[in-house]
Amino acid sequence: MVSGSAYDWRHLVSSDYLLASLIPLILLVLSVQILGNPQDLLDIIFGRSRAAAPGHFSVQRAAASYAQYAKLSRRELGAMRASYQRMSWAHRRIGYDLGYTNKLNRLEDSIRTNAVVTDAIAALAREEFPEEFAQSSLLQHDIPGDLSRVRESVKHFVRDWSSEGRDERVRILGPILDVLKEVDLQDRQRMRVLVPGCGLGRLAWEISELGFRTTANELSFFMNLAFRFLLSKKHTQQPQQHVFQPYASWFSHQRTTDSLFRSVSFPDVVPRLGDSLVLAEQDFLSLSPPSRENGDGYDFVVTLFFIDTSLNAIETLQHIHTLLRPGGKWINLGPLLWAGGGQASVELSLEEVFRLAEAVGFGVGGINPESDKERRRTIECEYTADRTAMMRWLYQAEFWVARKAM
């Protein structure tokens, strides 16, 4: 015989009332497991907006792009194979005899080789910026990878940090370093140099090696993460440690298949941060002049292939002027490849740039300055070029040194 209290308990357990009362608790537990944050469930219930998407040059988007390099590259390879398969059997047979299917297989091997580097850069991002990669949430945006930005950034390993890029590097860094080498050795340690848009940092590092206190400034974390990969004692310990095949993704203008898939080792030297080299990973326009006993400001601002990346060149030149101390110098080398289609507020000719510089308050060196090293001149150069390719893209870059009035 069952007692009344036991009967009531079994009736309660099997009742719809208990199940109904447990549903909210079950949903709460599931929300914590799935969303990672109970607040997200409330945001969904009350219709609050999703988190803002990461900026295009943010550490989150750059890390996601490096992490997705292999997946996106294999997707592209799949499209290439599908295109090949759409040819007739007779044409596919000719392609096979030419070795084209093997060429696509070599591209797959190249993707695997390159992913060793890109995966390591993505891992470094999570190691050095853990606060930017909190537990995922349903309210967060999926971050699409930017394959072209990754490829552009890793090509700078060649230009900035490989033996293969030495000739291009000497051509564009040489005139700038020659000006700075004219400063007396004993004076360099107290002088500050800013390098905006520093990319993978070779110019900034070279300047710091001359003895100047150098700030390497870069907005894009596609570049910053790649530079940090070289600066990291964990990831880069010795010269020529890493291998990449930077040209494999573009089959055009190649003389041989072997040149397409050639490997480049880097770095030729191992850079490190220190008292003479610091990073400023932010928008150039957000920088302030450094405080100093003999007057605020940098002694030199060095812009290499930089001013034409400005969406407002007037604002950029004004800020360069603001950042310099009285009597400080602005050293520039680069073309004028403005962002077209109305993206840039102004797209100036070289003549207009010089007139703007004078209006801002600079004295631009002419053809007969006090030092021949500071002579204004045109320098023919390339930018992340493939030296074995059938195509060359040459810039008639302009070099000048301008001084801020005392």
The reported pLDDT for the residue numbered 23 is 63
Distance CA 114, CA 236 (A): 16
Q: Is residue 246 very low, low, confident or very high in pLDDT (cuts 50, 70, 90)? A: very high
- The residue among 405, 379, 395, 389 whose CA lies nearest residue 174 is 379
| Model confidence pLDDT, tens digit, residues 85-116 | 999 999 999 999 999 999 999 999 999 999 99
Burial of 6 (0-12, 13-18, 19+ CB in 10 A): exposed
Residue 223 scores a pLDDT above 60? yes
- Residue 301, SS3? strand
* pTM for this model (two decimals): 0.86
Cis peptide before 267 (omega within 30 of 0): yes
The reported pLDDT for the residue numbered 161 is 98
Residue 136 scores a pLDDT above 90? no
Percent of the chain predicted with pLDDT > 90:
78
- The residue among 266, 257, 264 whose CA lies nearest residue 106 is 257
Residue 59 scores a pLDDT above 60? yes
Residue 369 scores a pLDDT above 70? no
The residue among 131 and 317 whose pLDDT is bigger is 317
Contact predicate 375/333, CB 8 Å: no
Instruction: Return the structure tokens found at 149.
Output: 């930005």
Look up residue 207 and give its amino acid: I
As a whole number, mean pLDDT of residues 293-319 equals 94
The reported pLDDT for the residue numbered 24 is 62
Of the listed ranges 43-52, 204-213, 227-236, 345-354, the least confidently predicted one is 43-52
As a whole number, mean pLDDT of residues 360-369 equals 78
Q: What is the mean pLDDT of the chain?
A: 89
* Stated length of the chain: 406
Contact predicate 31/40, CB 8 Å: yes
The reported pLDDT for the residue numbered 54 is 78
Residues 6 or more apart whose Cβ sits within 8 Å of residue 318:
360
350-360 vs 313-323: helix crossing angle, rounded to 10: 40
Tokens 């150069």 correspond to 381
The reported pLDDT for the residue numbered 8 is 54
The reported pLDDT for the residue numbered 33 is 53
The reported pLDDT for the residue numbered 105 is 98
Tokens 């964990």 correspond to 234
Distance CA 6, CA 12 (A): 10
Sign of CA dihedral 180, 183, 189, 191: negative
